[in-house]
Amino acid sequence: MSQNAEKVIDHFELFRGPEYTEMLANKKCMFEDPVLPEELTRVTEWTKSMEYREKNFAREALTINPAKACQPLGAVFAALGFEATLPFVHGSQGCVAYYRSHFSRHFKEPTSAVSSSMTEDAAVFGGLNNLIDGMANAFSLYKPKMIAVSTTCMAEVIGDDLNAYIKNAKEKGSVPQDFDVPFAHTPAFVGSHVTGYDNALKGIIEHFWNGKAATTPRLERKANSKLNFIGGFDGYTVGNMREIKRLFDLMGVEYTILGDNSDVWDTPSDGEFRMYDGGTRLEDAANAIHAQATISMQEFCTVKTLDLIEASGQEVIAFNHPIGVEGTDRFLMEVSRLTGKPIPDAIAKERGRLVDAIADSNAHIHGKKFALYGDPDLTLGLAAFLLELGAEPTHILSTNGDKDWEQKVQALLASSPFGKNCHAYSGKDLWHMRSLLFTEPVDFLIGNTYGKFLERDTKTPLIRVGFPIFDRHHHHRYPVWGYQGGLNVLVTILDKIFDHMDATTNDVSKNDYSFDIIR
Amino acid sequence: MSDIVAVEEIKERNKQLIGEVLEAYPEKFGKRRAKHLGTFEESKGECGIKSNIKSIPGVMTIRGCAYAGSKGVVWGPIKDMVHISHGPVGCGQYSWAARRNYYVGTTGVDSFVTMQFTSDFQEKDIVFGGDKKLSKIIDEIEELFPLNKGVSIQSECPIGLIGDDIEAVSKAKSKEYGKTIVPVRCEGFRGVSQSLGHHIANDAIRDWVFDKKHDRPARFESTPYDVAIIGDYNIGGDAWSSRILLEEMGLRVIAQWSGDGTLAELEATPKAKLNILHCYRSMNYISRHMEEKYGTPWVEYNFFGPSKIAGSLREIASHFDDTIKEGAERVIARYQALTDATIAKYRPRLEGKKVMLFVGGLRPRHVIGAYEDLGMEVVGTGYEFGHNDDYQRTTHYIKDGTLIYDDVTSYEFEKFVEKVQPDLVGSGIKEKYIFQKMGVPFRQMHSWDYSGPYHGYDGFAIFARDMDMAINAPVWRMTKTPW
C-alpha cells in the first residue's frame, strides 16, 4: 500500500506504485485487446515519417486538434468588455456552459453569460419565446445595463432573426423599449472566435452609432481629437489593456477603449463577487463616433468593425498584435502622429531598457529555430519579435488564418534574412504541426496549452504564449504589448531556454560540465 | 437549544430564503423555479422538488447539453476509439481533454482520448449536408490512425437540423472497414441537460456495439467472480483506485465503463456476473438493458469515504460466495489503519464544518458520507441534471432540513451561499471563482480541482487532504483589509 496519511500522495505518484502498475498491466493484457508492442512501435515511428506527413497534409475533411474556437466565444468576449453588459447567447444552453468554463479556465475568474436554452420545440417552432422569456429573466435577475445578443449554430441553422425577435421582446416588455440590446449573428460554421469578436463588436458599435435600433436618431459625427482603441480577442487582455492605458496616460492622449475586459476578468477577492466591473461605459461607446481615429491592435479580429468605423469618417489603423521594439515603435508613432502628442522620454527610456535586455540576452536566442501557432494577428506579432531577436521562425501556423494572413506572414519573413527558411501554414491544425516538428525539427515551439501534447510527442520545448493557457497561472495579468510587454515575452522565452539548457546538461559525469551557474 | 428547535429554525430560514430569491424573478418564472427549491422533510421522506425539467431561459443555468453527456461523459473516455465531434469546431474544442479521464496508451497511435477530432463544419456543409464529408473523415481516420478499434460520431446541434443520415454512413463504413462505427444522436438541443445525452449514448452502445458485435469472442475464460465497473469515468484515476479494491477482495474486473475503457471491454461486459454501478444517473440505462437481455444483475455502490466504501464492499460481496465475502472483510481490515490515520489527522481540523454542494451525476449524494466521516455536515445539495430517482436516493443520505436546489441558477446559488454561510462549497469551474471572491473556500467536485483520485481508500486520504487545504488555507484570513 503506497498511500499514507502522513504524506498523502495523489495521482502524480499513487499510480506509479507496484500494486497499481501491475494491476494496469494485467488489465491491458487480459481485457483490452491491446495492439502488439512491435506493431505499436512500428506505427508510432511511421507517424513521425515524411510519408506520414504527406498523407497527413493530404487530409481534406478531417480536422485534428485545431487551434481555433467558434464565433460565439468571441462574441461573449467582446460583450464582456462593456460596462455592466450581460452576454446573451441565443440557442442551445450547453454552448454557454462551454464558453464560461473555457474563459474561467484561462483567466481563473468567473465569466457571466446567459443562454436562451433552446430545446427540441424551439428547433421546430423557432426560439422567439426563449428569447422573450430569457431577456425578461436575465433583466430581472442580473440587472445589466446592456444585454448583448449573439447566436449559437442551432439558432443560425433554423434561421432565427435576432433583429425581429429583439423588437418583439421589447414589445412584450421583456426589457424597456430604450434598453440597449445590440446583437450579432455569430454562426459557428463561419470563421472562428476572432470572427465572432468582430461581429459582436461591430454590432455593439452599430447599435450606439446608428440610432439604437431606431429608438433614437443616428448620431452625427462631430470630430474631436480623441482616439479609439480596440484590443481584439486577446488572452492577455487584463495585462495589455492596463499597459496601453498607462502608455496613453503617459503621453497625455485622450482615448476611449472600445471593449475593455481588464477589470471584469480581474476582480479582487475581498468578500464581494462583482458580476460586472469596469468595461467601456455605454455613453463612451456612443461618443466614440466623434473620435478622430480608431486603432485596432488586431486587424484580423476587426475587419468588419473597422469598415464600419471608417465609414463614419474616422481614420482607422490596424496592427497585428505588435510585440517587441519595432512593433511598439510603429504603434506609438502612429498614436503620436494622430494626436500630435510627442512620445515622452519616460517611454523612450522603457524602449531603451527593452533594447538593453535584448542586447544582454539575444545570444541565447540568435539562430534558434522556432515553430509557432495561434490566432492570425498574434502569430504575426510574435514572428516579428522573433526576427528582431535573431531567431529563425521556421513553421508559422494559424488554423483560423486565411490566404491573406499567409501572404502577410510571407511578406514579413521576406523582410528579414532570419525569415528565409520559414513557411506559413493557414488553415492547418496541430496534427499537421506534429508532422512538421517530426520531419523538420525546431528548437522551440510557441503556442497555447494544447501545445503540450506536441511537446510530449516531439520533445520540442513549449513556450506558452497564446490563448487558452490553462496549465500555467496568471500570465494573462502581465502585458505582452508595449516595451514592458516585449520584456515579458523576452523573459518568458529566455526562461524556457535556460530551463531547457539546465535540464539537458545535468547528467552527472556525462555532460554536466556545461551545467553553468552563469549563463 | 434543542436539535429539534434548531432544525425547525433552519427550515424556516430556508423557506424565507427561497421566498427571497424567487421574488427576483418575473412572476411566471418565479413560480416555475419554486418547484425546484425546497427543504428535505425527514418525516415526509422526500426532497419535495421537481427535476429533469427544461431550464428557464436567461438565468445562467449551470447545465450543459446532450453532446456533453455523450461525448464528454460516456463515449469520450473509451480510449481506443476515435470520437468525432461532428459539426462546427467549438463543442469539441471546449471539451477537449477537459475532463481528466485518465488512461494509459500511446495517444495518437493506439489511444485518442485527449485529442480533438472534428468535422469543423463550414457553411457549405450546412447547406449541402455533411454526410459525404463524414464518409471521407472516416477514410482519413483509417488512413492516419490504422490502430483505432472503432469510431463514434458525436452529433452537434446542426446534424439533426439539416437532416444528415449519419446512420447510413456508419453502416456503410462499418461494412467497408469491418470496424465498429457508432452514430450518436446527441445533438445539444435534445432534452433538457446532459442527462438525455447519457441515455442516448447508452442506447447507442446497446444498438451499435452489443447488437452489431463483429462476432469477436471475448479473449478470456470466464470465472464466477467477473464483474464490470459501470459509470466510473476515471477522473484523476478514480476507477483505478476502485478497481484495486475489487481485485483485492477476489473479484475480477473484466471491463471499465468508460474511464480507461476499451471497445473490447464494452463488448465483453455481458459476460460479467455482476455489473457494479457507480454513476447511476449516466449508466443505469445500459445496466437495466444488460439485466433484461443478458440476465446480468447490477448493484449500485459508493466508494466515497470509508463508511460507504465498507458498506458497498459488503453489498457487492453479498452477491458472491464466502471467498468474496471474506475478501471484502480482508480489504476493509487492510485499509483500517490508513483510514484511522487519515481521520485522526484531518477530522480535528474539519469537525463541524458546513458544506454546500451542487454537482452532477451521483456526487450531490455520494460524497456526503465522505464529508461525514471527517465530521463535516452537508447543509445544502442539488443536482445539475438529476431525475426524481436521484432525489429519492438522496433522502437516504441527507439530514432533516437540508436545503435542496435543482438546476440551481447562478443567482440563487450565490444568494443561498451568502445566507447559509457554509465553510466550503463544492461545485464546478463556473462557480469556483464566484465563491472564492466572496471569501468562501471552494473545491471543484467535477474535476477534483485537478487532484484525485477521490474514490476508494487511497482516494479518501486525498479527499481529506484537499478539503483541509481548501478550508484551512491561510488566504481566507486575508480577504478583508485590516484597516
- Output the DSSP codes for A79-119: HTTBTTEEEEEES-HHHHHHHHHHHHHHHSS----EE----
Task: Provide, as residue numbers in chain B, all residues whose Cβ is less than 8 Å from the Cβ of A273.
Answer: 414, 434-435, 437-438
Min Cα distance B332 → chain A (Å) is: 13
Here the cell at position B457 is 481508500
Cα(A448)–Cα(A494) distance, integer angstroms: 17
> How far is the CA of B155 from the CAs of A142, B163, B245, in angstroms?
33, 12, 37
3-state SS of B268-333? Answer: HHHHCCEEEECCHHHHHHHHHHHHHHHCCCEEECCCCCHHHHHHHHHHHHCCCCHHHHHHHHHHHH
Min Cα distance A298 → chain B (Å) is: 22
DSSP A28: H
Q: Assign B4 a pLDDT band (cuts: 50, 70, 90).
A: confident
| Per-residue pLDDT at B188 | 98
> How far is the CA of A452 from the CAs of A430, A446, A447, A463, in angstroms?
11, 10, 9, 9
- In the block, which residue shows the cell 501545445? A451
Min Cα distance A126 → chain B (Å) is: 12
What are A317's strand-pairing partners?
A295
A5-42 pLDDT per residue, tens = 999 999 999 999 999 999 999 999 999 999 999 999 99
What residues of B are annotated to the active site?
65, 68, 99, 198
B191-233 pLDDT per residue, tens = 999 999 999 999 999 999 999 875 677 789 999 999 999 999 9
What residues of A are annotated to the active site?
153, 157
User: Does residue B5 surpass a pLDDT of 90?
Assistant: no
User: Does residue B1 surpass a pLDDT of 70?
Assistant: no
Q: Do B479 and A269 touch (CB under 8 A)?
A: yes
- In the block, which residue shows the cell 451568502? B418
- Output the DSSP codes for B332-363: HHHTHHHHHHHHHHHHHHHTT-EEEE-BSTTH
Residue among B192, B254, B433 minimizing CB distance to A109: B433
Strands across the sheet with B403-405, in order?
Answer: B37-39, B403-405, B377-381, B354-357, B424-427, B442-444
Sequence-distant (6+) residues with CB within 8 A of A125 are none
Q: Do A154 and B438 touch (CB under 8 A)?
A: no
Q: Nearest 5 degrees, angle CA A450-CA A454-CA A457?
A: 135
Here the cell at position A244 is 496601453
B13-22 pLDDT per residue, tens = 999 999 999 9
B71: left (phi over 0), alpha (psi -120 to 50) or beta: alpha
- Sign of the CA dihedral B276, B278, B282, B284? positive
What mean pLDDT do residues B116-122 have?
98
Cα(A472)–Cα(A495) distance, integer angstroms: 14
Min Cα distance B204 → chain A (Å) is: 20
Q: Do B147 and A130 touch (CB under 8 A)?
A: no
Sequence-distant (6+) residues with CB within 8 A of B294 are B270
A86-121 pLDDT per residue, tens = 999 999 999 999 999 999 999 999 999 999 999 999
Best mutation site among A45, A59, A63 for testing chain B: the one with the most B CBs within 10 Å?
A63
Task: Provide, as residue numbers in chain A, all residues whose Cβ is less than 8 Å from the Cβ of B438.
Answer: 271-273
Residues of chain A with pLDDT under 50: none
Cα(B337)–Cα(A3) distance, integer angstroms: 11
> How far is the CA of B479 from the CAs of A268, A431, B164, B421, in angstroms?
9, 45, 54, 15
Cα(A447)–Cα(B46) distance, integer angstroms: 52
Q: Do A188 and B263 touch (CB under 8 A)?
A: no
Best mutation site among A103, A189, A197, A433 for testing chain B: the one with the most B CBs within 10 Å?
A189
Min Cα distance A275 → chain B (Å) is: 8
Residue among B26, B87, B465 minimizing CB distance to A136: B26
Min Cα distance A333 → chain B (Å) is: 38
| Per-residue pLDDT at B219 | 82
Q: What is the ipTM of this complex?
A: 0.98
> How far is the CA of B66 from the CAs of A110, A340, B72, B97, B203, in angstroms?
24, 57, 9, 18, 13
B331-382 pLDDT per residue, tens = 999 999 999 999 999 999 999 999 999 999 999 999 999 999 999 999 999 9
Best mutation site among B80, B83, B109 for testing chain A: the one with the most A CBs within 10 Å?
B109
B70-108 pLDDT per residue, tens = 999 999 999 999 999 999 999 999 999 999 999 999 999
Q: Do B133 and A61 touch (CB under 8 A)?
A: yes
CB–CB of B137/B148 below 8 Å?
no
Examine residue B453 and say whether the peptide bond preceding it is cis (omega within 30 degrees of 0): yes
What mean pLDDT do residues B259-269 have?
97
Give the distance, in angstroms, between the CA of residue A335 and the centroid of all CA atoms in the same chain.
24
| Per-residue pLDDT at B215 | 62
| Per-residue pLDDT at B212 | 83
Q: Do A10 and B452 touch (CB under 8 A)?
A: yes
Task: Provide, as residue numbers in chain B, all residues whose Cβ is less than 8 Å from the Cβ of A44.
Answer: 106, 109
| Per-residue pLDDT at B214 | 57
Q: Do A31 and B54 touch (CB under 8 A)?
A: no
Task: Give the residue on A whose Cα is nearest the Cα of B269.
Answer: A31
Task: Provide, as residue numbers in chain B, all residues whose Cβ is less than 8 Å from the Cβ of A59.
Answer: 140, 144
- Please give the share of chain B, as a percent, with pLDDT higher than 90: 97
Give the distance, in angstroms, between the CA of residue A371 and the centroid of all CA atoms in the same chain.
18
Q: Do B156 and A153 touch (CB under 8 A)?
A: yes
Cα(B462)–Cα(A9) distance, integer angstroms: 7
Q: Do A6 and B25 touch (CB under 8 A)?
A: no
